[in-house]
Structures are given as structure tokens and as C-alpha cells.
A and B are shown apart, each in its own frame.
Chain A
Amino acid sequence: MIVNRKPLTIWERLYLPAIVGGFKVTARHLFRSLFGGKAVTMEYPEQKWAVPPDYRGAPYLVRDQDGNTKCVSCQLCEFICPPKAIKIIPPGPTGPLADRPNAEKMPLEFEINMLRCIFCGYCQEVCPEEAIFLLKDYSLTGLSRNEMIYNKEKLLALGGVHGGIQKWKHTLEEAKAQEDFPVNV
């Protein structure tokens, strides 16, 4: 199709409407930003943005409502982590037992290297215990590479409480309830 272009007037060929229009627009923006306070810059770190829900921040280990840790060292998150940022040392047959009732085991050591983590959220998706969650931290800093490898204490401390279904407590209660269940023998 042929676009109908009107021939330029003499003023337009001298670029005068473009010149004047340019001055008007930029002057308007200049005075608005300079004196009207309408610059759109967000002055980080004095002004911070609101983290939306479901934001994939840094992954941390969480406790449940009773203060028990949830991780049972199944190592699924370690196997699924794409950059292999998670390193878990399982307790083994002779290692320490879990620090809460009715849990089979807990990790001897749990490290996440925050410099390798890509914040994809796969570990949160795959965890069967809902023990690891990507929370809202986005600016992690450290003065050395070793400082950025977070171990279990730090992860638990940063994770806080994230209550949910306490499935092992409920299975324990169901198992105890079954002991008094009348059976026709």
C-alpha cells in the first residue's frame, strides 16, 4: 500500500517546527524534574521498593510453629540444584539423631553457597518437608567468598518461622491413636 505523505512546507524543511517543538518538550521535562520534584528515580537505598509476594529471594531453612527444624536431610534439593549451590552432609548410620520427635534424621551440615545460587526456586519446589523457602532477601553482601557460604545455623536463623502442616506430628498422633483402636481379634 502506498502511504500518503504530504510534501513538507517551507518551515518544515527548515526544521523550524521540529526545533521549536524540541525546545518546548525538553524544557517542560527539565523544569518538572528539576523544580517540580517529578524525577522518576527511586533513590536506593534511602527508598526501597515493595517486594511482591512469591518473590524468589535468597533460600533459607525454616522452622515450624513449635520451633522444630523441618529438614530431614533427604538431599533432594542438593540433587536438583542447577548450579550445585547446596551441599549437605548426611548424618550416616552413626551420626546424631534428629533434634525433634518422630523425625528420622537431620543433616549433619547444610551449606548453601549464595554466590552460586541462581534463585531459581527448584529446591523449594522439590522439598517434601517444606523445609526450604525462598524468602525476600535480594541484596546479599559479604567481604569474602567464604563468608558467603551460609551454614545451617545461619540459614535457620535467617529463615524464621514458616508454619504449615506438621505431618510428622500428625502421623505420630495417628499412630498413637491406632494403639487404642478397638480391633476385632
Chain B
Amino acid sequence: MNWNFIIFSLIKIVIVIGVVQGMVAYAVLAERKVSAWIQDRVGPNRAAPPFAQYIPVVGPFLTRVGFFQPIADGLKFILKEDFTPAGVRKAYFWLAPAIAIIPAMLVVAVIPFGSQLGQQQMVISDLNVGILYTFGIVSLGVYGIVLAGYAANSKYPFLGGIRSSAQMISYEIAMGMSVIPVLLVAGNLNLSRIIGWQAQHGWLVLYAPVSFFIFLTASFAETNRLPFDFPEAEQELVGGYHTEYSSMKFALFFLGEYSNMIASAAMMVTLFFGGWTLPFWGLDQPAATLGAGLAHILIFLVKMLLFMLLFIWVRWMWPRFRYDQLMNLGWQRFVPLALANILVTAVVLWVRS
């Protein structure tokens, strides 16, 4: 019983889940503000608790930025009536939101969000098969949506759930195959060692750009974001698979979607953009001091926020794919492209050795 390890792991888990959920709440706010600015309006800028005007310097500014809006949203979700429609399959109805959010939170267990603070590695579990674990867990995320669509016992959620399951399964194949050249080049499945490899040889996006492109597009499809927005296509399916859900269950779906976005962004940063390293200022070595450790965590967060911004920006920029175009893209374009990518990478590596 290695108490040291258990206690520090528990501390890391609590902190990471707290930070991720906090980021999810503020990702919702960021989405609303960024989408508002793209659409020539301002987002939420009024919600403020009564003490906000007494905060000395930044009180009114925080209100204008909408800083307290997620707190209002959280209160709304807690206090709203949680309604179960008649005729649903109660077991699946209650289970589906939980299954939707749990894989998203499990994925962040293997992602290194820093190098080390003192003696502690900044990763909850440094699995030697990190990427395999990630893809296994992401595949479980399909079940939440399928169950939600099936359990709601109504046309539009059912269609949304079915479309979503087909879409997610098809893009998971492309996503998995697109990561293989990364592994061939880096030679290791352990995420910390991939970051170490990138610190020595340069970012993997330069070695496998096609891989990055396929992974980026597939992660848009996996998290059901536009332009692959079909399961929750608001103009067509009312709410899609989460139409019949209210209050806390809807909040879990919502949080699950944004947690998936955060997990995908973190994976992309780790696999292709060097994780917590920067190629200058000596920041590509594991931290020797506490300040360097914190700097690494900050670098990781900033890179992840840039990807989240890209997710949000893309949603309000491009039209939605039609369903047959989407499946065409997934099966007939990305799978052969990913296979060709693996072949070319393998040949180039063989020729070079």
C-alpha cells in the first residue's frame, strides 16, 4: 500500500476534475461570447451577484465580460425541475447522461498537463499504453448518445441518436488510424515519452501533417461539433438526442460535450503540438524548479485554450454537412487517406533506416 502514491493521486484527481469542470463552465461562456462577437452582438454581460459592484478594481469589468454567467447557469441547472416524460425507459433514461459524461472525464487521466512539480509527475496515470486507453474510452462515449436517443421514446431524439452513433463510429476508425503514423515516428505509446520525443526532434505536426488534419477533423466529428453537428442539429431535430432531457441531465450532456472537446483538444496538443514544451527558453526539459513546473502547466493550458477557441470559432463559421456527405467523407475519403498515410510513413521510415 503505497500511501504516498494514493494520496497524491487522489489530490491530482480532485484538482484535475475541478479544473476541467471549471474550464467546461467557462468554455460555455467563451462559446457564447465568441459566437456573439462573430455575429455582431455582445454575449452575456449582465449576470452579477450582489457583491460584484464592491470588488475594487475589476468588478464592473468582470460583469461586462460575463464572468459570473456560468455561476448563474449552474444555479439554473440545479434549481430547475428535473422532469421525466411518461413512456420513457426509465433505466436507460437515467443512465444515459452518466454514460455520456464519464468517458470524457476518464480520458484526461492519461494526459500529461505539465512536467513535474517538485517530485510529483503532472499526469494522473502514466500508462505505457496511453493512446490505446484513450481510444478505448472514447469509443464508450458513443453509448451515452445512443442510449439517450433510444430511451427518450420519441422521433427526433431517436433519429438524432442513430445518426450520431453511425457518425461517431465511422470517424473513430479514421481517428485511430491517423494516430498510427505518429506512433511509428515516435516509437512509443506512452504520452509522456511522446512529449519527450517531440522536445528532442520538434513537434510531430511537422512530421505528420496529414495525420494532424485527419485527427482534427475526426475529433470535430467525435465531439458532435459543427460541421458534423447532426445529432444536435437544432434546425432539423429540435434538440436531437437531448430534446427530452431537462435540468441536471441536460447539464450532464452539455458538460459531457464540452468535456469531450477539452479532452480532444488536450490530446491534439499532446500528440501533435508538444504538450507542455516550448522549443525555446529551455522549457523543453522536465522542470527543475517549481516556477518552471508551473510555467509548463500554463503553456499546456494556453495551447489547449487555443484549440478550444478553434473549436468554437469553427462552429460559427461553416455550414453543416449533409448526412450522406458526412458518411461519404468518413468512409470513402478519410479511411483510404489514413491508410495511405500509414503506408507512406512506414515506407519513408524504412527507406531512412
The number of chain B residues with a CB under 8 A from chain A is 13
Q: Which of B5-13, B39-47, B278-286 makes up part of the contact surface?
A: B39-47
* Contact present for B40 and A19 (CB under 8 Å): no
Contacts of B41 in A (CB 8 A): 33, 39-41
A39 CA / B40 CA spacing, docked (Å) = 5
By secondary structure, the A interface counts as helix
A92 lies within 8 A of chain B by Cβ: no
Contacts of A34 in B (CB 8 A): 37
Q: Which of B316-331 contact A (CB under 8 A)?
A: 316-318
Q: Smallest CB–CB gap between A128 and chain B, Å?
A: 46
Task: Point out which of A18, A32, A41 has the most chain B C-beta atoms below 10 A from its C-beta.
Answer: A41
Contacts of A26 in B (CB 8 A): 38, 313, 316-317
Kindly report which residue of chain B lies nearest to residue A19, judged by CB atoms: B318
Q: Which of A20-78 contact B (CB under 8 A)?
A: 22-23, 25-26, 29-30, 32-34, 38-41, 43
Contacts of A19 in B (CB 8 A): 318
Q: Smallest CB–CB gap between A30 and chain B, Å?
A: 5
* CB contact between A30 and one of B38, B42, B45, B318 (< 8 Å): that residue: B38
Q: Smallest CB–CB gap between A161 and chain B, Å?
A: 37
By secondary structure, the B interface counts as loop
Contacts A18-B318, A19-B318, A22-B318 given; does A29 touch B40 at CB 8 Å: yes
A40 CA / B38 CA spacing, docked (Å) = 11
* Contact present for B318 and A39 (CB under 8 Å): no
* Contact present for A22 and B317 (CB under 8 Å): yes
A25 CA / B36 CA spacing, docked (Å) = 14
A38 CA / B45 CA spacing, docked (Å) = 16
A15 CA / B37 CA spacing, docked (Å) = 25
Task: Point out which of B39, B313, B317 has the most chain A C-beta atoms below 10 A from its C-beta.
Answer: B317
Contacts of B45 in A (CB 8 A): 43
* CB contact between A29 and one of B37, B42, B318 (< 8 Å): that residue: B37
Contacts of A29 in B (CB 8 A): 37-40
Kindly report which residue of chain A lies nearest to residue B64, judged by CB atoms: A43
* Contact present for B37 and A39 (CB under 8 Å): yes
A80 CA / B38 CA spacing, docked (Å) = 48
A43 CA / B318 CA spacing, docked (Å) = 29
Task: Point out which of B40, B41, B316 has the most chain A C-beta atoms below 10 A from its C-beta.
Answer: B40
17 contacts between A and B (CB under 8 A): A18-B318, A19-B318, A22-B317, A23-B317, A26-B313, A26-B316, A29-B38, A30-B37, A30-B38, A33-B36, A33-B37, A33-B38, A33-B41, A38-B40, A40-B40, A40-B41, A41-B42
Given contacts A39-B42, A41-B42, 8 further A-B contacts (CB under 8 A): A26-B38, A26-B316, A29-B38, A30-B37, A32-B40, A33-B36, A39-B37, A39-B40
Report the 9 A-B pairs with minimum CB-CB distance, sorted nearest first: A22-B317, A33-B37, A41-B41, A26-B317, A34-B37, A26-B38, A41-B42, A39-B42, A30-B37
